[in-house]
Amino acid sequence: MFVKLEGRQVLVVGAGSVGEAKIESLLATDAAVRVVAPHATPRVREWAREGRIEWHAREYSPADFAGVFLVIASTNSPALHDDIYAEAKSRGVLCNCVDEPVRCDFYFPAVVRRGELQIAISTGGLSPALAQRLRKELEQQFGPEWEQWLEQLGRTRDELQSIPMPPEQRKRLLHQYASLDPKPQ
């Protein structure tokens, strides 16, 4: 499932190197990122100075859940993760406690991005290293040309939608175009 996070409030508890990586991936989605952590990496501090995130340099409090759509716990405290996960459950907020699959309602996939084409790889939290390896392999298989090709397929789809024809014929044509090789000849 791909979730549109644009403009949605996301809470990240913890701003070390792992938290930084999660924050960076959230920034790419245009989520409204609120970070709560007494200390932060230089990069997280810079994002706060730039106004890209809201950083509260203090310990987590259950009140931090106000208006939150989802939460990511990226601390080194299993007890704190227990508290955050329980609070998330009680509020109906999606939760991901990094590297603790039993305390996750969702996982961060490894993603290959080629414009609007996104290929997500998940191992259900069992082996992020394998997911990363597969991402690297897929990045080689799906080169930059796929971005332009997908844009062309989108334009072709729009054109076909404007032409009166039976839906099955349109579907057949779209599948035929999508079966072509995206690499320039």
- The CA distances from residue 185 to 43, 153, 175, 180, in Å, are 43, 17, 20, 11
The candidate with the shortest Cα–Cα distance to 145, out of 92, 183, 94, is 183
Do the strands 32-36 and 54-56 form a parallel or antiparallel pair, or are they unpaired? parallel
Of 99, 105, 158, 181, which is the active-site residue?
Answer: 99
Please confirm, yes or no, whether 99 is among the known catalytic residues: yes
Question: Which residues participate in catalysis according to the annotation?
Answer: 99
